[in-house]
Amino acid sequence: MASDFPYLTRSEFGNCIEWFEQVYGAVLEVKVRTSRGSHTYLQINKPLFLARNDSDDVVDSDDAVNNGDAVNSGDAVNSGDAVNSGDAVNSDIEDLEDTDPTQLDTCPAMECGLIEYHVVYSASWRVPVLYVRVHASTGVVMDCRQVADMLVADSKVRGAMDAVEFGGALGIQDHPELNEPFMYLHPCHTATLLRAVVVPARDGRGAEIGQRNYISAWLSLTGAAVGLSLPSIPH
C-alpha cells in the first residue's frame, strides 16, 4: 500500500501507472508517457461509438472546444457540494461499478471519434486526476456537455454520479503536462471515495489496495463518470 494511503508521492504514482500498463496492456490501448518536464502520466485511448441516430450530434462544431481556445474555469458543468462518506456513498459507488457506461443503447453503433483519457499526478492533491478529450471523426474536440451526454447516457450511472457529486465535477483546464485544454474530473473527492472502499468497516468488508491495483481501483470509482469502464483481465 502507499506510504500515506490514499495519498501518493510522485514516485509512488509512477509505480502505480507502470503496474497498470503491465496489467491492462493486453486488453486496452494504454501507454505510460513522459512529458517535457520529465513527469510520467498514463494515456488510455478508446474509440468512440454512438448509435447511428445520434451521430449527427458528434460533428456539431458550434459547441466545440478547440485547442486554441482560452480556458475558462467557469465552464464546469455544474457545481457540487462535498460528498458525504458512509453507507450512502458505498451504495452509490456500487451503482457506478455495476453498470457499463459505454452501453449507450441497443441501436446499431458506428465508430465516430476517439476518446483520450490521461491519468496525471496532482502535486497539490497528491492523488491521480483524470483528464479527458474527445475528438469527433471530423477532428472537432467536443465540449463538456456533449461529452457528458454521449459518454454517460445511462440514467442509473447519471443518478449515481449526481449522488456522489461527480456530475458537477467535470470542468475544463489546461493539462498540466501538455498545456492544452482538457476536460477533467476535479480530485477533491478522490481521497474520500478511496477511503470509503479501503478503510475496514465495522463488519470487516474493507478492501486492501496496493500500488499494483491502485489505479484500477480508482478508475473503477471515477471512470464511469466519463464513460471509462475497465475490461476483464484474462488469466
Residue 188 bears catalytic tag: yes
Catalytic residue among 107, 112, 144, 188: 188
Cell of 125: 492533491
Cell of 116: 483520450
- The rounded distance, in Å, linking the Cα atoms of 154 and 10 is 35
Q: Give the largest Cα separation in the chain, rounded.
A: 53
Written as one letter, the residue type at 24 is Y
Q: Are 233 and 28 in contact (CB under 8 A)?
A: no
Three-state secondary structure of 89-122? HHHHHHHHHHCCCCCCCCCCEEEEEEEEEEEEEE
What positions carry a catalytic annotation? 188
